[in-house]
Amino acid sequence: MTRLSVNINKIATLRNSRGGNIPNVKQSAIDCQKFGAEGITVHPRPDERHIRYQDVYDIKPIITTEFNIEGYPNERFMELVLDVKPTQVTLVPDPPEAITSNAGWDTVKNKEFLTNIIAELKEAGIRTSIFVDTDLKNIDGAAVVGTDRIELYTEPYAIDYEQDREAAVESFVAAANRAKELGLGINAGHDLSLANLSYLNDKIPFMDEVSIGHALIADALYMGLEDTIKLYKDCLI
């Protein structure tokens, strides 16, 4: 079964909007795991507008599942993850001013850069994943740079899903099949929700993990965190 990793960035955004420690980010990670999440994802950005670098250190000791840290591999980020040593690091090509991730890596253009970064992470015993679109040249390039997994950038799927779900998922199935042929693990994330998650999982039943934050945390405002996590996990059966 595909594993659910909950991205808790939005909880940190809410905390930071008021100051103090409400809601408590560390407690939210504990609760997500208690309620059935199989992983916790955070994405610290240079301006620390949601998850702070200190949050990463605070969260690490309470992780009983898997810890996934996303980010652009600048010097500060690399120092953080090599110190914390999470289960997985997901490399994203975000510029510092990006509101949210909005593109995958060009793995051909960035071949040397990614190869060196991934080698450093793997030497530290950290599983690596890189954020990619469905262009097959980027899937092939992901295998060349030595990553363990890819994370399919699913915003285009989510946008097109309501109009034509079969067309929306087609390139993602092709990319996932190519990745599987190349021996890569497959994660997915960005704009996945209760509306579109089941169909994606049905079409790519061999995904290792989905990382979901925005929609899940928003749903939890109405339905509660425990019930919401259960509903998302039901989509992955």
CA trace torsion 200, 234, 32, 157 (10° rounding): 10
214 among known catalytic residues:
no
Catalytic residue among 50, 66, 151, 190: 190
50 among known catalytic residues:
no
Catalytic residue among 66, 70, 151, 209: 70
List the one residue out of 53, 45, 116, 41 whose CA is nearest residue 80. 53
Output the DSSP codes for the chain.
--EEEEE-HHHHHHHHHH-TTSS-HHHHHHHHHHTT-SEEEE---TT-SSS-HHHHHHHGGG-SS-EEEEE---HHHHHHHHHH--SEEEE----TT-SS------TTTTHHHHHHHHHHHHHTT-EEEEEE-S-HHHHHHHHHHT-SEEEEE-HHHHHHHTT-HHHHHHHHHHHHHHHHHTT-EEEEESS--TTTHHHHHHH-TT--EEEE-HHHHHHHHHH-HHHHHHHHHHTT-
79 among known catalytic residues:
no
Annotated catalytic residues are: 43, 70, 190
